[in-house]
Amino acid sequence: MEVRPEAVAEWVKLPADERPRLIDCREEDELAICQIAGNEWYPLGLFPGVREKLKARNERGVVVYCHHGVRSLRATHFLRSIGVENAFSMSGGIEEWAARIDPEMSRLLRNAPRHVAGIAKSDFVFLRRPHLKSC
């Protein structure tokens, strides 16, 4: 269900009509920081509403990526549930891509402020809870 960034790096070198579709399922503010050239952008939360677009042109396969690979795994499960059997998640997400393939790429920072409503912040912001003393 997962493919390594090294395999994806080889595929993106292929002519556009020969390579798998590459879908970035992150949010818009993340996309502005960094992305892999040649991707299509569909935030994970929009997948149900664009299912027909996602089902189209998948004969060469579909690779989905996010920040660390968690959302892209969910996206891959969704794609397979609607009949896209050759859908895969890029393991480690764009963070792993930046570390292994493109070290010059801008990277998302942990603890960076997130200002987009409705997004689960747990993927990016680690909040400290105040220590609760027992009575």
pTM over 0.85: no
Overall number of domains in the chain? 1
Structural domain includes residue 132: no
CATH code assigned at 29: 3.40.250.10
pLDDT at 19: 95
Of the candidates 16, 27, 81, 18, the one whose C-alpha atom is nearest the C-alpha of residue 54 is 81
pLDDT at 10: 97
Chain centre to alpha carbon of residue 131? 34
pLDDT at 119: 42
Structural domain includes residue 130: no
Look up the domain containing 18 and give its range.
Answer: 2-123
Rg of the Cα trace of the chain? 16
Q: Token pair of 63, please?
A: 């690779």
